[in-house]
Amino acid sequence: MTAHVHVPSMIARVSTAGALTLAVTGAGLVTPGAAPEAHAAPHAAKALDVAASKRGAPYQYGASGPYRFDCSGLTLYSFKSAGRSLPRSAQAQYGTSRHIRAKDRLRGDLVFFHRGRSVYHVGIYAGGNKIWHSPRTGAVVRLERIWSQAVWYGRVG
């Protein structure tokens, strides 16, 4: 009697390998014709992950974690966890970040909301025109669309 051994076709093996690569790297699928977002520096990616892990943490004015945050407290805590230091206020964080254009923004960059020359809010860019932030009293850390055109971007070195 002859033993039959099933050998998957090359296409099946490539598909499995591709699926495993996506699972291991966390890569996403790219829509044809769309430009994929560039990757952030490792510390910015880590800061973004830390901010996302704080989803649902309540806002508290002046708080910088680990359980409650105001906007600049969340960015300070997230980047500190990633090995980078930032000053305490949103305005001071803007002053110490490397200013970049909107078209050059990457996941993990800071997004500063301003009125005139005064920065009043900061969040961490998550891609897809969204930020992780701690918005205001009565709210929690959350992912939200950028709601204003009056924003500046900064990169933490």
Statement: residue 126 has pLDDT above 80: yes
Q: Would residue 71 show up in a list of annotated catalytic residues for this protein? A: yes
* Res 146: pLDDT: 98
* Res 40: pLDDT: 74
* Average pLDDT for 91-107: 98
* Res 38: pLDDT: 61
* Res 75: pLDDT: 98
Distance, CA of 36 to chain centre: 15
The catalytic residue among 4, 71, 99, 114 is 71
More confident call, 39 vs 155: 155
* Res 61: pLDDT: 98
* Residue whose C-alpha is closest to residue 102's, from 157, 34, 154: 154
Q: Would residue 99 show up in a list of annotated catalytic residues for this protein? A: no
List, as one string, the DSSP characters of 23-76: HHH------TTPPPPPPPPHHHHHHHHHHHHTTTPBB-TT-BSSS-B-HHHHHH
Per-residue model confidence as pLDDT tens digits over 8-52: 433 333 333 333 333 333 333 332 333 345 667 999 999 999 999
* Res 150: pLDDT: 98
Q: Would residue 4 show up in a list of annotated catalytic residues for this protein? A: no
* Res 133: pLDDT: 98
Per-residue model confidence as pLDDT tens digits over 60-98: 999 999 999 999 999 999 999 999 999 999 999 999 999
Q: CA 97, CA 72: separation in Å to the nearest integer?
A: 13
pTM of the complete model = 0.76
